[in-house]
Structure 1
Amino acid sequence: MAAEHTGYRSPLPRALARRVGQRVPAALLRYRVMAWIVGVLLIALVLVAVPVKHLGGVDEPVAVIGTLHGWLYAIFFVTACDLALRARWTARGTVLILLAGTVPVLSFVAERIATRKTRAGERV
């Protein structure tokens, strides 16, 4: 009789964990959380705050969301660089991922690509 499979699958292949160290999964999680936060704030800034400023003459949403996005992008930058070093991303891939965080919606696409490649043990 075959061994029973629990259905649990590690989010990161063991080969990658051995190659780049055990801290990649935690760095990947930090990066993904920050990518989503920064992406959502950038969409809110572009689609809500800027139109409110220009159509309604209300400056506060741009000031608040823009400042928050700027500070959190700095944290995103650090988490992405940390992951890039731990997972041994290429310089080109790292720069592209960092730039994607400044383009609405593209940050979500870049996060999915970076997550898929990192989990597969590929260099971004």
Structure 2
Amino acid sequence: MTKLFHTYRVLALVVGVLLVVGALSSLCKYLLEDGSTLQQLGDDLTLIWIVHGWVYIVYVVVAFLLSQKARWSLPQLGLMLIAGLIPGLIFWVEHRVVERLRADHPELARA
């Protein structure tokens, strides 16, 4: 079961980084002057959103499986899923999930 726990942690961090980079690239793409270097960089990084989407789908499956093993409520799962859509939030949620798993289900969160 620790494999599921470690997979969740890695996916949460990857989704979080992709989401922050994607958000910053969108800000550059749409808020800066057309033709500027940063605007072009934002346009070139549009592929980040496709990668984030595919990794997020895997994250959803792993988060669901982990919440089922831990017998968590639907709101807890909902928070885990929403965190992958709001830049920065997933880092806080991942930390809280790890703390809760280690406290309530140490057998699921062995290092």
**Taking structure 1 as the reference length, what is the TM-score of the superposition?**
0.73
Aligned-pair identity in percent equals 35
How far has the Cα of 1:95 moved from its partner? Answer: 0.7
Distance 2:27 2:83 in 1: 22
The total of aligned residue pairs comes to 97
Match of 1:53 in 2: 29
**Taking structure 2 as the reference length, what is the TM-score of the superposition?**
0.81
Distance 1:86 1:74 in 2: 19
Per the alignment, in what secondary structure is the counterpart of residue 120 of structure 1?
helix
Q: 1:35 aligns with which of 5, 8, 12?
A: 12
Distance 1:99 1:119 in 2: 22
The answer to whether residue 72 in structure 2 is matched with residue 89 in structure 1 is yes
Residues 64-117 of structure 1: per-residue CA shift (max 9 Å, x gap) = 101000111001111101111111111110111110111111100000000100
Distance 1:67 1:40 in 2: 14
Distance 2:19 2:86 in 1: 8
Distance 1:103 1:52 in 2: 18
Distance 2:87 2:14 in 1: 12
Match of 2:101 in 1: 118
Report the AA paired with residue 51 of structure 1: L
Structure whose alpha-carbon radius of gyration is higher: 1
Residues 33-56 of structure 1: per-residue CA shift (max 9 Å, x gap) = 000000000000112x11332224
